[in-house]
Amino acid sequence: MQFHDGTPFDATAAKWNFDRILDPETKSWVRPYYADIAQVEAIDPSTLRVRLHQPSGGLPAALAG
């Protein structure tokens, strides 16, 4: 998969987006929906690991939205 400019969309790109949302300085309006996320890791180019503080029933809806 690629972005419109041809750069690859991989686990590192996905992690960057999570990190940006979770950064308080960004003031992302969706940050409260991601509050259960404790850590995001790019394991390899196609594997993203998202660790939670606790089970979250709302996170799948936030990710899909």
* 37: containing domain: 11-64
Q: How far apart are CA 26 and CA 21, in angstroms?
A: 7
Tokens standing for 64?
């899909």
pLDDT reported for residue 19: 97
The sign of the CA dihedral 17, 45, 35, 63 is positive
pLDDT reported for residue 1: 87
29 against 65, higher pLDDT: 29
> Is 5 among the domain residues?
no
Residue with tokens 């690629």: 2
Q: How many structural domains is the chain composed of?
A: 1
> Is 34 among the domain residues?
yes
> Is 23 among the domain residues?
yes
Model confidence at 65, pLDDT cuts 50, 70, 90, reads confident
> Is 4 among the domain residues?
no
pLDDT reported for residue 47: 97
Taking only the tens place, the pLDDT of each residue in 20-60 is 999 999 999 999 999 999 999 999 999 999 999 999 998 99
